[in-house]
Amino acid sequence: MNVQKKFPSSVDVARRAGVSQSAVSRAFAEKASISSKTRAKVFAAAAELGYRPSAIPRIMLTHRSHLVAIATGGMYNPFQSRILELFTRGLNAMGYQLILVHVEAGDSLEAAMPQLASYRVDAVLVARGVLDEQSAAAVASYRIPIVAFHTPVSNPFVSSVCVDSISAGRQMAAHFAARGARRCAFVGGPFRTTTDRLAGFRAVLAERGLAEPIAVPSAFTYEGGRGAAQRLLAATPAPDAVFCANDLVAIGFIDVARQLGLRVPEDVMVAGFDDIPEANWSSHSITSFSESGVSMVEASLDILKQIGEATAQLPVQVVLPVRLIERNSTRRNLPPL
């Protein structure tokens, strides 16, 4: 494989081309005063040696690495992997390289920070929806700009981008109520994005005079949805409309409901969140909230663009609207009974 420990340097190229080292540097610079003749000599020598300019010294000189870290996890969720792909493409297009670190829970971002700081990353993007106030403070102490994704953090050093969870909860409650739901349930984890959703959900149900929803905690996974369904559907009376924390949970819920002989949406309506591709599979066709991913990534990239600009007004807290997408899992015109 011919792994060599040392790559040719601009000095090597300069010697071979019979010019100074600065001439080599200028030959590879975008806008630099250099004669085309000298440049040609340099390029020829560079090609012979297989020279590739190193970005490392520039980091030392400019204090900018053009490296952005992204901390994420739970990539079993297609929403997360789609977000990651969008960030990768967007950042590459902006001239950044992306360092990916796996974060299992909120506090392990702190464990990764020393490494990220040592590479002098220009910013850290926290794509996992888990960053509480305390770890946000610890992470902010590194004085590296942080952008929290899908997590409403209120810390003076952390920007955040998220969707309007309360509105989402309200929209879903209205949707269920309009389709004749009587006994609603909410399946979700203990994190703030879902508690906000539950708050909005609960508020509108109360406004419509419907019963207080049963709230069941659940992991944000297919299996979590199955477990919640087993518990909820064994109850008497069972709920007839269930708002799940995400689409994977909704799919698990539906699969168990069907195995129990229930029809969706006739016997029980089920809705999710994130609008992952699987939500649109004809086998499930799940009502969800749409395309928040693309606009959230765009908003995050806008924030990153500002970092390093002198005029930057940071941190920023961005809250984006959500839009309900109705599919078969809640599509019924007549309330049962």
Partner DNA sequence: TTGTAGGCGTTATCAA
Partner DNA sequence: TTGATAACGCCTACAA
CB 177 within 8 A of CB 319: no
Residue 8 region by backbone torsions, left for phi larger than 0, else alpha for psi between -120 and 50, else beta = beta
Q: Is 142 in the site for DNA (CB under 7 A)?
A: no
Half-sphere exposure of 328 (CA within 13 A, CB side): 11
Judged by CB under 7 A, the residue of 44, 47, 62, 294 near DNA is 62
- In the window 279-318, what residues touch a second copy (CB under 8 A)? 281-284, 307-308, 312, 314-315
Residues 6+ apart with CB under 8 A from 207: none
- In the window 16-45, what residues touch DNA (CB under 7 A)? 19-23, 25-26, 28-29, 33-35, 37-38
Using CB under 7 A, count the residues that bind DNA: 29
Q: Is 64 in the site for DNA (CB under 7 A)?
A: no
DSSP for 27-80 reads HHSSS----HHHHHHHHHHHHHHT----SHHHHHHHS---EEEEEE--TTSHHH
- In the window 103-142, what residues touch a second copy (CB under 8 A)? 112, 114-120, 141-142
Nearest Cα neighbor of 134 from 115, 158, 112, 118 is: 158
* CA 1 to chain CA centroid, nearest Å: 37
Distance, CA of 218 to CA of 247 (rounded, Å): 13
Q: Is 5 in the site for a second copy (CB under 8 A)?
A: yes
Judged by CB under 8 A, the residue of 22, 35, 97, 317 near a second copy is 97
Distance, CA of 148 to CA of 192 (rounded, Å): 13
89 binds, among a second copy, DNA, none (CB under 5 to 8 A by kind): a second copy
Q: Is 21 in the site for a second copy (CB under 8 A)?
A: no
Judged by CB under 8 A, the residue of 22, 32, 44, 76 near a second copy is 76
21 binds, among a second copy, DNA, none (CB under 5 to 8 A by kind): DNA
Q: Which stretch binds DNA (CB under 7 A): 48-56, 140-148, 206-214, 279-287?
A: 48-56
DSSP 334: S
43 C-beta neighbours (distance < 10 Å), count: 16
Q: Is 230 in the site for a second copy (CB under 8 A)?
A: no
From the CB of 128, what's the least distance to a second copy, in Å?
12
Q: Is 61 in the site for DNA (CB under 7 A)?
A: yes
Q: Is 54 in the site for DNA (CB under 7 A)?
A: yes
State residue 315 phi and psi, 5-degree precision: -80, 165
From the CB of 89, what's the least distance to a second copy, in Å?
5
Judged by CB under 8 A, the residue of 17, 41, 65, 204 near a second copy is 65
Binding site for DNA (CB under 7 A): 6-7, 9-11, 19-23, 25-26, 28-29, 33-35, 37-38, 51, 53-54, 56-58, 60-63
